[in-house]
Amino acid sequence: MTTITRFAPSPTGLLHVGNLRTALHNWLLAKKQDGKFLLRFDDTDRERSEEAFVEAAREDLAWLGIVPDREERQSERFALYEAAFDKLREAGRVYPCYETAQELELKRKVQLGRGLPPIYDRGALALSEDERATKEAQGIEPHWRFKLDHDEPIGWNDGIRGPVKFDPAQLSDPVIRRGDGSWLYMLPSAVDDIEMGVTDVLRGEDHVSNTAAQVQMFEAMGASAPRFAHKALLVGKEGKLSKRHGSLSARALRERGLEPEALLSLLARLGTSLPVEAIVRREVLVESFDLSTFGRAPAKFDEDELDRLNAQIVHRLPFAQVAERVPEGMDQAGWEAIRPNLTRVDEAGEWWAVVTGSVVQPTMDPEE
């Protein structure tokens, strides 16, 4: 069976290095197995999704040479989600809920106060037909939850974490649809993974409990779950990365004049037991990619390390590859002479001025 992986960003901000790392790892996993890599925009949230971020993500991936074999957008696939929802509803696996956000918050507080885990109490399932009708007559639009099956433990063999087990009774039934009819991420993602034939889902460990619920969604839709692997998150100097982390966006790094190979070299192996080194040939990254080398501790993104790798790559760049980017008049000999001094190609200008400019003799004391 052909390996199919996917990178599924929500276009609600610029991609940061953590997102790029996930894209890269999925791409490497696909390439290693002669498979396919999909780019899927999880843009069901029409208010927060922006076309500019779709464009930016495409550009960022292209800059890194991560070329998808297929691109899809969830906003064009609502009919599929609707159909899956109807079936699950008929099968009694989704149910309407009428609590307000404040009511839910209060329930959670009470549970925590009693030392209990804040799991949704399935209050909505206890409503009678009449009570439900009253709520609807009051104009309350229900939100919808997926009903987890509590009978069997949920388990999968994680490509990085090994065997993972969850007691479904310890999880809240996840909300899959809001009162206004809009979709949360969980169900559309599982529907698409089935329909697109995704064989491997490699994502951050912040998704582990989502996976537990999604494993049951795959089953409820009559499909077998893909292989899952959850990697430790990438953190910056100040901790968790977010789309608001401007300086670590792909865009900012590109504008700083870094070589894509430097970023690829760092992101491919950071958090694994493989050595982080400047690697220009992608095949090397592909061949050495191996989930069993992934560690469990968060990986730390260090910009100084990125600069070091960039310098090493620049020191090896042949003139033909930089000819367009170096100062006018610089030839191969000039490039080779100054190249060892550079961290980034755009510093060539300063050095070329030193080479071609006149030398001002400093005034010196005869004694000196």
Binding mask 230-259 for ligand GLU (x = CB under 6 A): ------------------------------
Is residue 88 at the binding interface for ligand GLU, with CB under 6 A as the rule? no
How many Å apart are CA 290 and CA 295, to the nearest integer?
Answer: 11
Are 289 and 271 contacting, i.e. CB atoms less than 8 angstroms apart? no
Which part of the chain contacts ligand GLU (CB under 6 A), choosing from 2-10, 126-134, 221-229, 337-345?
2-10
Structure tokens at 93: 């696996």
Phi/psi at 249 (5° precision):
-80, 155
Query: In the 3-class helix/strand/coil scheme, how is 338-351 assigned residue by residue?
Result: HHHHCCCHHHHHHH
172 and 143 in contact (C-beta within 8 Å)?
no
Q: Does 203 bind ligand GLU (CB under 6 A)?
A: yes
Please identify which residue in 3, 5, 10, 310 interacts with ligand GLU, judged by CB under 6 A. Answer: 10
Q: Which one, 8 or 268, has the nearer CB to ligand GLU?
A: 8
Looking at beta carbons only, is 43 or 259 nearer to ligand GLU? 43
Question: Could you say which of 4, 9, 160, 334 contacts ligand GLU (CB under 6 A)?
Answer: 9
**Structure tokens belonging to residue 133:** 């009708």
Segment contacting ligand GLU by CB under 6 A, of 5-13, 64-72, 246-254, 283-291: 5-13
To ligand GLU, the closest distance from the beta carbon of 121 in angstroms equals 27
Query: How far apart are alpha carbons 70 and 198 in whole angstroms?
Result: 12
State the Cα–Cα distance between residues 290 and 332, nearest whole angstrom. Answer: 39
Nearest to 13 by CA among 40, 65, 52: 52
Q: Which is nearer to ligand GLU, 198 or 306 (CB)?
A: 198
Closest-by-Cβ residue to ligand GLU is: 42
- Cβ proximity to ligand GLU, 45 vs 305, nearer residue: 45
The set of residues, in sequence order, having a beta carbon less than 8 Å from that of 364 and lying 6+ positions away, is: none
CB of 207 to ligand GLU, least distance (A): 6
Segment near ligand GLU (CB under 6 A), from 3-11, 87-95, 159-167, 235-243?
A: 3-11
Phi, psi of 294 (to 5 degrees): -75, 135
CB 214, min distance to ligand GLU, A? 8
Segment interacting with ligand GLU, rule: CB under 6 A, options 6-14, 83-91, 323-331, 340-348: 6-14
Is residue 42 a contact residue for ligand GLU (CB under 6 A)?
Answer: yes
Identify the residue among 8, 17, 212, 213 touching ligand GLU (CB under 6 A).
Answer: 8
3-state secondary structure of 299: strand
8 A C-beta contact, residue 335 and residue 318: no
Q: Tell me the per-residue interface mask from 253 to 292 with ligand GLU, x by CB under 6 A, - otherwise.
A: ----------------------------------------
H helices of the chain, in order, are 17-32, 51-63, 78-90, 101-113, 129-137, 186-195, 208-220, 250-255, 260-269, 282-288, 303-314, 319-322, 332-338, 348-356
Q: Rounded to an integer, what distance in angstroms lies between the CA atom of residue 254 and that of residue 55?
A: 15
**Residue whose CB is less far from ligand GLU, 189 or 312:** 189
Round to whole Å and give the CA distance between 199 and 193.
8
- Residue 53 interacts with ligand GLU (CB under 6 A): yes or no: no
Query: How many residues appear in the chain?
Result: 368
Counting contacts by CB under 6 A, is residue 188 touching ligand GLU? Answer: no
For residue 115, give the DSSP letter.
Answer: T
Torsion sign (Cα): 268, 271, 275, 277: positive
Task: Show the binding pattern over residues 156-185: x = contacts ligand GLU (CB under 6 A), - = does not.
Answer: -----------------------------x
Nearest to 302, CA basis, from 348, 350, 269, 270: 270
Taking the complex as a whole, the smallest distance from the CB of residue 59 to ligand GLU amounts, in Å, to 18
**Which residues here bind ligand GLU, judged by CB under 6 A?**
8-10, 42, 185, 189, 203, 207
